[in-house]
Structure 1
Amino acid sequence: MPKATTAGHVSTPVVTPRLLWTALTVVAFMLLVTYLVAFDQGAVSQSGMYLHELMHDGRHLLGVPCH
């Protein structure tokens, strides 16, 4: 018969500076991508038609109105 265990030390998750920096970087990158795809409308993506069309198709894929 297994022994009954008592509630002992409960560990709490540790947020290291590296983990925090990585999480903030990922969130900032995703916000930038969301802006470029959903709201840019070609203001930043002036480098060529390929990038503009990629963002345009991304808007249609996500259901964001663009016309």
Structure 2
Amino acid sequence: MNLTTTDPPEFLSVADAARRLGVSPRTVRRWYSARKISVIRQGRVVRIPASGVDALITPAVS
């Protein structure tokens, strides 16, 4: 049996995502309200997958 471990996904707060993207936290909130980025809600806490933020930074190659 081959057991492999993977790192758990990284989640960012709205403020951390905004810093990484170089925008205001309000802009990040607008984007997730408009469903431009996905979020995980835990009660009142909103977490944004780092992979989704990185996808916004890295342009798609066609």
TM-score (normalised: structure 2) = 0.27
Of the two, which has the highest radius of gyration? 1
Q: Which has the higher contact order (CA 8 A, sep 6+)?
A: 2
TM-score with structure 1 setting the length: 0.25
* Structure holding more strand per residue: 2
- The answer to which structure has the higher helix fraction is 1
